[in-house]
Structure formats: C-alpha cells, structure tokens
Structure 1
Amino acid sequence: MNTHPIPMVEVHRGPLAESLHSGHAVLCDASGDVIQAWGNPDQIILPRSSAKMIQALPLVASGAADARSLTSAQLALACASHEGAPLHADAVTAWLADLGLTDDDLRCGAEPSRDKDLRFEMIREGRKPCQVHNNCSGKHAGFLTLNQHLGAGSEYVEPEHAVQLAVRDAFETVTDATSPGYGIDGCSAPNFATTMHGMARAMAFFASAGGRGDGLSKAAARLTEAMIANPEHVAGQGRACTLLMRAAKEPVAIKTGAEGYFIAILPNRGQGLALKITDGTTRASNCAIAALLVRLGVLDAGHPDVKSFLNPEIRNWRGLLTGDIRPAPSFP
C-alpha cells in the first residue's frame, strides 16, 4: 500500500510544469470498503468544513430539526460554507429570530461577506460585518437549534459541551473509528480528526443512507437530499460546490473544506469520496475533485463550469494566456 501522497495537479507556465500539488483520495462503497485509493488511505487528516454534514447529524437525528420545522434550505445551510451573501445572511438571521436569538448568540465570529457586492456596499455604508456573514453561520444556527432542544448552556462550541459530544459520537459512528483528537476550526468549533478511509467511509454512509431505516441513516439521507436540492445555499455564486453540483449528470452532494479538503456523496451509487491536497491549496483541490468526478462519469469534462475548475486558464495582467492548471498526467 502506498503511504505517500501522489502527484495530482500541475500548474503550467508555457512549456513547463511550474508547480506540483500532491494529495490523497479514497473512494468507498456502501459497506465502507475501499474501491480505490490514491495516496495513503490511512493518512490522518482534519476534514475541516467537509465534515459539516456530519456535524449536522445530531440536529436531525435528535428530533430538533423537526421540532422547529426546519426546511430543506435550512438543513442545507447547516451543512454550508456559504459566501455570506444576502441569501445566506438573511436566512440565518431569520432562523435565529425563530429561535428567539440574535447574532450575539452565535460563537462563530464576525467575518466580512465573501459576496463582493454586499461587502463593498457594507464598506461604503460603514457597516461592520456580523457573525451571520461568517461562512459557518448556518452550521452554528443548527448547533443553537440542537442546543435549545437539549437545554444545554450557551457556550455550545466547547469540546465537552453536550452539542459537541453529540457531534463527536455521530462522527465516530459514521467513520467507524475513534477519533484520535481534534483541532479548533476557524469558526471555533472542534473539528475531529480521522483517516482518509474513515472520511470516505462516512461519505459512503451518507450515500447509502436511503436504504436503511435507523435514525442516524434517516438523518444522513435528509441532509444529503437537502444539499443536492439547494446547491446555492451550500456555497454560493461562482463557488465550486454549487457549480459542480449543478453541472453533475447525476445527484451528488459536493462539499469543500479548508486546507485543500473535498468530499463527494454519490447516492445513486452508494459511494463516498474524500480528497486531501497536502499543501492545502484550493486551486489544486478544485481541480482534483473535478478530475475524480469526471473519471467516475459524474461530471462532463466539456461542461464550462467543470472546465473552469478542471483546467482553468492562467492569464497575466494584460490578459495574455500564460499557462493553465491541469490534473497530473498519472491522475486520476
């Protein structure tokens, strides 16, 4: 078994491959077995925001989502790394109001909107960003919903809080392994570690969940359906997750994570895919996930939105074509 990352993405300038990005990827079937691995399936990783649908499992499985009559769009927001556009910030603000809460109850931290129009508008008007503009605010609204259901304390991001203990239990169940630890994510919540195989196994759990009747599987199926039905809530305009889900030839939930992570949930096949670029570069993870999904027949390489991530052009300040980004010759 290969224990090292493999070359996945090259950045070309003229005739030369100027830069090289390596990584790991694993594809699992419904039983959790590895169908194919690139690099080291036993590599321990932090899945970052690619784990948000796992972090949302207790929200649904506990009954908290139904108790608050959460919509499909709200469930997608609970799994989202959104751009803080009005669509997202307004929806989270309304969700908090339904809970009798405000922006101050969030613990994700304020972040400038990633939506350029809104960010520039706020700068012109002298308005400061709020926590609802944070790309993780939907996940945190889900945490707060679960927290009310549990009747626990306000500091819901603390690792030993009831909300995070429920998340850890769900995480270890779907990865089928005890997590070796956690790091604190950019939004202040714990992000639990697992192996590449564990994360791919978890995504296959989601992909095959529709065929099972237990509570956790039902929750996984609902969250997967919500992501697929609401791609604009999962990320936003121009973002890889949204555009690749829309371009897919079959239902697929695609979710990025910081530091070069990506997952894909393939419910028609009962398969789960996990990807990690070792240097954490988004340009490489966008290209590599597109290449893998093209290889699997989920995406068409000729689709304009797919090509924009699979083989984007590089142009200089004069607009001259100077190179491109492309999958490495041996990948996938």
Structure 2
Amino acid sequence: MESILVKEYRGGTLECAHMGHISIVGEDGNIVSSAGDPHFVAFTRSSAKPFQAIPGIRGGIIEHYGLSDQEVAIMAASHAAEPYHIETLESIMAKTGLEENGMICAPSYPLNESARESVIRAQGSKRRVFHNCAGKHLGVLAYSKMKGYSLHDYAGKDHQVQQEILEVLAEMSELQVDQIGLGTDGCGFPVFALPLSALATAYMKLACPDLIEDDATRNAVVRITNAMNRYPELVGGNGRVDTVLLHDHNIVAKGGFKGVFCLGLRKERLGIAFKVLDGSEEEWGWIVQAILGQIGYEHKETIERVRAQFTNRIVNDAGLEVGHAETVFKLV
C-alpha cells in the first residue's frame, strides 16, 4: 500500500498529495525502515547510470583513452548542459575519436535555463551532446569501440555491453538477471524495473564497495563514486538534489526521471531508494530532508544544505510565497 509522502498547501488549503514508497536496507540487504511498500517495483531511469558506467571503467577505458575523473563523473550524470558539462563531453569525444552523431540520444536543448537561453540567443540548434544522457552514451560507445564491438546498435538490449550492464546490476542488487524487467528509456537505452529494496541494496554497495566480491567491479565502483563526490556539479548541475548531496563525501546519490531517487550512506552502511508515484521530482529535496532527519543522520550540515536549497515554501511565478509543503510520512 502506498503512503502519502508530501502534502502541498496553497493559502492554507490542501492542493496536492504525493503518494509513494520508500525502502531503506542495511548491509545484509534486509529492510531496516520503510514507508509504503519497500518492495515496490519501479523503473530505475537515470538512477542506474552509475551502474551503467561500471563495465567500461572495469574494462579499462580510463587507461585506454587517458580519461580524467571529470570525464568519469559525467558518464554517471544527468547533466544540464551547462558550459562545463559540454566542455567535459567534448573532451571525451576528442580523446576517444567518437562523433556526436554516433549517439542515438535525441538532439536537445540544454536543461539549464541560462545555457538554453544562450544557445537560443546565439541562434544555435539542438545537439545530441546537450541531451542529459550524453555522458552515459559516450561511455558505452567508448567501451564498445575499445572492445571492437558494433557501434551502430550499441543501445540494443542484446548488445554485448548492454548485457554486461544487466549482469552488473543483477550482481549489485542481488537479483537474478531474469528477475529484472526491461523497458526502453527516454534516451533509447534499456531501462530496468526492479524492487526498490533491490535498488537500495545496489546503492548500499555503491557506498560500501567492500561488500562487492569481484575485485575489478569493486575498483570500478570506487573510481566512479569518488569521481561523483569530487565533481558533484558534473553529475547534475546547479540546484540539483543529487549534486547538493554529493558534496557530502559520505553520500552517493543519483536521481532518475519519473520520481525515482536513490542514495547510499557510507558510515551508516545504508541504501535508500524511493519513488514518487506521480512521477514528480519537485518533492525530492523535501523527502530527502525528512529521511535523513528521521534516521538521525549525523551530518546536520548536509540536511541544512538541502533545506536551504529546497525550502518548503511554495512561490508563484513572481517569487511570492503562496503556500507550503509538508512531509507527512513516518518511517517504520
């Protein structure tokens, strides 16, 4: 049964109620806290990106192409096409010899408002490199090129790299491959459906890689998550919840489209995954604050940083306060 996670009030009247599910697991993979159904099956969307980067990093693309930690971080990103994002992506293309038109993700305008306005003012057109998944695509293409695999069908579910990604996610989530549902993501890649408890387990291992048996996978996870924490702006951008959280090096975090958000806590050895059922992302900051507060998270400055960025004030188009939001769930 779903739980009400957030209520929004306008002028003192309830306007919206956002339902969802929260799953928190410990290092043994067992549920330690939850709201709603901790085993609710949800698509990972972009929360899978750190796992989708593992095969290439594990396979040696860093050494083969001379990639930097910035370039590793953006392979796990949903970037907003701010200038430093595009500079990093173009650096990957220069080092790997990959061409922008080789990506199947659709040409897009930047997600960041300022960057989008700059492109439009300059009478620029949509580009594939502006797509928020471009780093993921370049990572898989770079690995495919290094291995001598086909590049034209690199996003197909039967492609060698996509099969390797699926096996990695199964290993990290402690599922069998046939227990993971498949769909097609907005960018054209396979997207995975699995219980929130399994996704939380995978994030717990991102935060606690000592639990990963395979040495090469463990080393790849360390390299990817260290890059994410070192360059959090590359993982999302200004004002993004995962970017704000990644400034805390005790946290590995990544959101996904349609209301999915995940984080792993290193010291506490916890994995957390939640899904807002109506697919909204506006509530992420509020829900994260409440979760960290309810579990007694020690890094109070992180909670305050999130609260400062994502206040419970609801404002209108002119910036005037017209209401407020309340998190109403209680973890059990």
Report the TM-score, using the length of structure 2 for normalisation. 0.92
SS of the residue aligned with 1:96? helix
1:237 Cα offset (Å): 1.2
Tell me which residue corresponds to 1:165. 163
Change (3 A) 1:150 1:44: same
Letter aligned with residue 271 of structure 2: G
1:306 Cα offset (Å): 2.3
Following the alignment from structure 1 to structure 2, what is the Cα–Cα distance between the partners of residues 319 and 162? 50
Alignment of 1:296-307 (within 5 A): 296=295, 297=297, 298-300=299-301, 303=304, 305-307=306-308
Tell me which residue corresponds to 1:237. 238
Tell me which residue corresponds to 2:204. 204
- Identity among equivalent positions (%) equals 27
Letter aligned with residue 282 of structure 1: E
Following the alignment from structure 1 to structure 2, what is the Cα–Cα distance between the partners of residues 191 and 265? 21
SS of the residue aligned with 2:154? coil
1:94 counterpart = 2:91: yes
Tell me which residue corresponds to 1:221. 222
SS of the residue aligned with 1:112? coil
1:282 Cα offset (Å): 0.8
SS of the residue aligned with 1:303? helix
Report the TM-score, using the length of structure 1 for normalisation. 0.92
1:211 Cα offset (Å): 6.0
Tell me which residue corresponds to 2:322. 322
Alignment of 1:21-40 (within 5 A): 21-40=18-37
Following the alignment from structure 1 to structure 2, what is the Cα–Cα distance between the partners of residues 207 and 304? 20
Alignment of 1:136-147 (within 5 A): 136-147=133-144
What 5-or-longer segments of structure 2 have no aligned partner?
none
Tell me which residue corresponds to 2:257. 258
Following the alignment from structure 1 to structure 2, what is the Cα–Cα distance between the partners of residues 275 and 103? 34
1:290 Cα offset (Å): 2.7
Following the alignment from structure 2 to structure 1, what is the Cα–Cα distance between the partners of residues 70 and 320? 41
1:46 counterpart = 2:47: no
1:175 counterpart = 2:173: yes
Number of corresponding residues? 326
Letter aligned with residue 162 of structure 2: Q
SS of the residue aligned with 1:282? coil
Spell out, residue by residue over 1:54-81, the C-alpha distance to the aligned partner (whole angstroms, 9 max, x if none).
1111112222333223221111111100
SS of the residue aligned with 2:218? helix
Following the alignment from structure 1 to structure 2, what is the Cα–Cα distance between the partners of residues 287 and 147? 40
1:319 Cα offset (Å): 4.3
SS of the residue aligned with 2:91? helix
- 2:24–2:38 Cα contact (<8 Å) kept: no
1:59 counterpart = 2:56: yes
Spell out, residue by residue over 1:125-163, the C-alpha distance to the aligned partner (whole angstroms, 9 max, x if none).
221121111111111111111111221111210110111
RMSD over aligned Cα atoms? 2.0
